[in-house]
Amino acid sequence: MVTFKIITLASSIEEKTIDLFKDTYADTGSINVDGSTLHCWKHGGHGVQTYLEVVENSCNPGFVSLGNKLGVEKLMGYIRDFGFGEKTGIDLNGEGNGILFKNSNMGPVELATTAFGQGISVTPIQLSVL
């Protein structure tokens, strides 16, 4: 989910885990995480790219790298700080909380998929109030 990747990016910038312009990620088109292979949309990958290019290319393996640099506690902390996992408080019948992993239930694959937006469920309302 491209719209969610911005949360991982903002968290990484805030925590200074990367320099968007200087730090690089070598994308081969996939990344192995605890026995699971997660793919980039581009077969063969993007090669060596700065993290700014990781964002521009919406490169899932690059975002896995960002998630790993943050770790479960920090990434999930930011996700919750952005308001995900709870109702927004607007007057809307049936508004949901979305679905987040509990930190204690997150292994390497859950961290990886959450970092690029496929390990969680958020509502359109939550995304629109960012």
Per residue in 6-44, pLDDT tens?
999 999 999 999 999 999 999 999 999 999 999 999 999
Collapsing DSSP to helix, strand or coil, 93 comes out as coil
pTM attached to this predicted model = 0.90
Contact 37, 31 (CB under 8 A): yes
Instruction: Specify the number of domains making up the chain.
Output: 1
Q: Domain range for residue 30?
A: 2-128
Please classify residue 124 by burial: count the beta carbons closer than 10 Å to its beta carbon, then call 0-12 exposed, 13-18 middle and 19+ buried. Answer: exposed
As given in the structure block, the two tokens for residue 62 are 């690059």
Per residue in 51-80, pLDDT tens?
999 999 999 999 999 999 999 999 999 999
Per residue in 84-128, pLDDT tens?
988 888 887 888 888 899 999 999 999 999 999 997 888 878 877
Contact 57, 49 (CB under 8 A): yes
Which CATH number is 46's domain given?
3.40.710.10
